[in-house]
Amino acid sequence: MSLTKNKILKYVVIGVIAVLIASLLSKNKKEEKVNILRDYSEILEDGLLKAVTEYNSISYFVNGDTISGFHYELIQAFAKAKGLKVEIVPEMSFNKRMEGLADGKYDIIAYGIPINAKLIDSICFTIPITRAKQILVQRKAEIDSAKYIRSQIQLAQKTLHVEKGSPAILRIHNMSNEIADTIYIQEVDKYAQEQLMAMVAHGDIDYAVADEDIARTAIDSFPQLDINTGISFTQFYAWGIKKQSPALCDSINAWLTEYMQTKAFKKTYSKYF
């Protein structure tokens, strides 16, 4: 009986090990599938362009049964011109958009990213699509005079809330050096810029940083907010593509160069800006 039990135990152990190995192999295959290099030729062959953006009043939003947004319409126009279908995923976290691009989950970040030296090493930027600056979001002086900021120097020892991984972090660090004092940064993973604006409006936090175009589009919903203090100078904003997809970057740049001169682009642009 003991021999039989030993055999059973042996086969059980072998079975468990086999299941674990199969599970690991399956996981590795899935990871390999996610991480497969997709440049323009592979995307054309697949017929599907995978894009990620942020859910806000400029990029991508749902109104009833209609999806709208400047970057949504622009990436759709590119896909249509190239005979592609496009899958667009709204992702609130800047870090997760970057991670998804790096691991092959997305082909492109179809969202306005401020072009800066730090990110140039990580992604291929398209040609500039829009221009804006980063601004301070705070409550108006007549609502909260004690905490109202009138100049960047007054940001010393204050805490600014930003999206986790936001390009604004680099600018805040530079500004901290410029005023020779500490500006604290609180990175928020769950919420994007419009949600941070709502948190300032409701008094949950005192200060946030947002892109000017997004803030000006959303400000009508938050009449208690002030967005008149700049954090950065005016910058160029572009889409981001992984460095390993140079052909896709070149193709989008060639298309943007022509399309941005058309009446269709200007009509779309004027609708949102």
Secondary structure letter of residue 82 according to DSSP: T
Query: 273 falls in which pLDDT band (50, 70, 90)?
Result: confident
Is-contact 172 166, C-beta < 8 A? Answer: no
Q: Cα 15–18–19 angle (5° rounding)?
A: 90
**The pLDDT of residue 21 is above 80:** no
Q: Quick one: pLDDT at residue 92? A: 87
- The CA–CA distances, whole Å, from 34 to 38, 99, 103, 131 equal 10, 12, 7, 33
Q: Quick one: pLDDT at residue 37? A: 75
C-beta pairs of 19-26 under 8 Å, 24+ apart in sequence? none
* CATH 3.40.190.10 residue ranges for the chain: 40-131+236-272, 134-233
pLDDT in tens, 115-160: 988 888 889 999 999 999 999 999 999 999 999 999 999 999 999 9
Q: Percent of the chain, pLDDT > 90?
A: 76
Tokens of 263: 């009446």
One CATH from 3.40.50.300, 3.40.190.10, 3.40.50.460, 3.30.1370.60 for 134-233: 3.40.190.10
Rounded mean pLDDT of the chain? 88
State the burial class of residue 19 (Cβ atoms within 10 Å of its Cβ: 0-12, 13-18, 19+): exposed
- Write down the CATH superfamily of domain 40-131+236-272: Periplasmic binding protein-like II (3.40.190.10)
- The CA–CA distances, whole Å, from 80 to 83, 84, 110 equal 5, 6, 15
